[in-house]
């Protein structure tokens, strides 16, 4: 960006949506609740909302298939002016843990994470939620564009899992992500 004083909005040409896990990589599961399926559901809702706004979208997977972490980053790296959003659900052996978490890598990732996280907190009203940098996450550090990873709640907590399984919760996750992307696109 050479003329920052006149740049009001960021140029985003495409949003790469990365539903976590898939195929043999199940991610977390509790009973019949699988992280990989929840992540794909939310990703497809994000895709629909973004396409309704005229934003080009690429999903790193559209079905229950395995995609390596480096392939996911490589898909994002095909495009210029893209942003990358990886969607996950959390689990812990500590069943008390609840809340949403947003991870990022790099300065632009941090700004994108802040916008998305704020909307997640206001829509989902979790008891806990924080953003932090995670430099070791391959999908973030191999991706050249601004990249974040959203953990949309804990399936290991009984009451949070019940909320997560509701269509309205999954819609609110998607809407928060899209509103966050739009705020990042619009404001410095
Ligand atoms: Zn995951």
Task: Please tell me which residue, 67 or 97, carries the higher pLDDT value.
Answer: 67
Distances, alpha carbon 1 to alpha carbons 14, 37, 49, 66, in Å: 18, 38, 28, 36
- How many A from CA of 88 to the centre of ligand 1? 4
Residue 136 pLDDT more than 80?
no
The rounded Å distance from CA 5 to ligand 1 centre is 39
The residue with greater pLDDT, 16 or 128, is 16
Q: How far is the CA of 183 from the centre of ligand 1 (A)?
A: 25
Percent of the chain topping pLDDT 70: 91
Q: From the CA of 81, how far away is ligand 1's center (Å)?
A: 25
Cα(93) to centroid of ligand 1, in Å?
A: 14
pLDDT of residue 6: 46
List of residues 6+ apart from 104 with CB closer than 8 A: 110, 112, 113, 131, 132, 133, 134, 140, 147, 148, 149
Share of residues in the chain with pLDDT > 90 (%): 80
CA of 108 to the centre of ligand 1 (A): 22
- How close is the Cα of 152 to the center of ligand 1, in Å? 10
Q: Distance from the CA of 21 to the center of ligand 1, in angstroms?
A: 6
State how far the Cα of 42 lies from the Cα of 44, in Å rounded to an integer: 5
pLDDT of 184 above 80: yes
How far away, in angstroms, is 45 Cα from ligand 1 center? 18
A 10 A CB-CB count for 134 gives 16
7-43 residue pLDDT tens: 568 999 999 999 999 999 999 999 999 999 999 999 9
- The confidence band for 139, taking pLDDT boundaries of 50, 70 and 90, is confident
pTM of the model: 0.92
Q: Please give the Cα distance from 79 to 46 (Å, whole number).
A: 19
Q: What is the pLDDT of residue 140?
A: 81
What was the pLDDT predicted at 137?
77
């Amino acid at each position: 960006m050479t003329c920052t004083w006149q740049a009001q909005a960021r140029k985003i040409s495409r949003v790469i949506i990365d539903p976590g896990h898939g195929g043999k990589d199940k991610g977390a599961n509790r009973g019949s609740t699988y992280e990989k399926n929840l992540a794909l559901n939310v990703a497809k809702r994000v895709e629909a909302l973004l396409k309704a706004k005229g934003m080009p979208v690429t999903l790193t997977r559209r079905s229950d298939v395995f995609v390596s972490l480096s392939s996911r980053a490589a898909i994002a790296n095909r495009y210029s002016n893209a942003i990358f959003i990886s969607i996950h659900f959390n689990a812990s052996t500590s069943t008390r843990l609840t809340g949403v978490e947003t991870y990022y890598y790099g300065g632009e990732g941090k700004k994108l994470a802040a916008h998305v996280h704020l909307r997640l907190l206001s829509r989902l009203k979790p008891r806990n939620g924080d953003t932090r940098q995670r430099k070791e996450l391959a999908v973030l550090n191999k991706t050249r564009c601004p990249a974040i990873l959203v953990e949309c709640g804990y399936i290991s907590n009984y009451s949070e899992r019940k909320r997560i399984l509701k269509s309205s919760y999954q819609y609110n996750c998607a809407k928060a992500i899209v509103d966050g992307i739009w705020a990042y696109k619009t404001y410095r």
